[in-house]
Amino acid sequence: GQQLNQSPQSMFIQEGEDVSMNCTSSSIFNTWLWYKQDPGEGPVLLIALYKAGELTSNGRLTAQFGITRKDSFLNISASIPSDVGIYFCAGRVNYGGSQGNLIFGKGTKLSVKP
Amino acid sequence: DGGITQSPKYLFRKEGQNVTLSCEQNLNHDAMYWYRQDPGQGLRLIYYSQIVNDFQKGDIAEGYSVSREKKESFPLTVTSAQKNPTAFYLCASSVRQANPYEQYFGPGTRLTVT
């Protein structure tokens, strides 16, 4: 089946630092979504991408739809303590016109640097 | 306010019992989804429904059942046939299957079976 590789699995942030994470796939996707999940809560949609090369921002968050259509990147600028949580990418394959369901990465866990 | 509600937040059951998880949305979305989340894992699709009175199996449907009698409601039953039912269950909805395609999640139900 389809798989998404999300990296890094975890990282520590210090307030003010920029953060980057990415997802790669063996398949071509026509949609990329980025979510943030706090402990014990449902994921919250951060950014949605629909076109190869698209670059979209949401406050300090910026995400890009890779031009190969097999990857996506999320950057957080000037991180703050409330950025901690788990970030998930999700992609959707277009099967020759028939829309597939979302496939999720395993998440990138952001924690505060001790 | 529009949104997705799941109840209860925490659920405890004895092994061998069926249990039904509730999911309601007032977003007027056509499509609804059930996911299972295990620690350190991405979300896995159990069932989805694109329209009332119709639903399809996802990747891990065995041991689960659903119904979609109303647009707003998509309850999930975890049956005694599900071998590892303890997990965090998330319900989601989207306007439709076509783009723009954005899934919104409820707060989740944590099920513990002993």
Instruction: Tell me the pLDDT tens digit for each residue of A60-103.
Output: 999 999 999 999 999 999 999 999 999 999 998 866 555 568 89
- What is d(CA A56, CA A48) in angstroms, rounded to the nearest whole number? 8
For chain B, the residues whose C-beta falls within 8 A of a C-beta of chain A are 4, 6, 33, 40-45, 48, 58-59, 90, 92, 97-108, 110
B11-18 mean pLDDT: 93
Query: Does A40 touch chain B if contact means CB atoms closer than 8 Å?
Result: yes
Tell me: pLDDT of A114 over 90.
no
- With contacts defined as CB-CB under 8 Å, which chain B residues touch A31? 99, 101
Across residues B81-109, what is the average pLDDT?
A: 88
With CA atoms as reference, the chain A residue closest to B5 would be A42
Pick the residue of A10, A102, A108, A109 with the most B CBs within 10 A to test the interface with B by mutation: A102
Query: Would you call A13 helix, strand, or coil by DSSP?
Result: strand
Cα A41 from chain centroid (whole Å) = 17
pLDDT of residue A112: 86
pLDDT for B96: 76
* Count of H-run helices and E-run strands, chain B: 0, 11
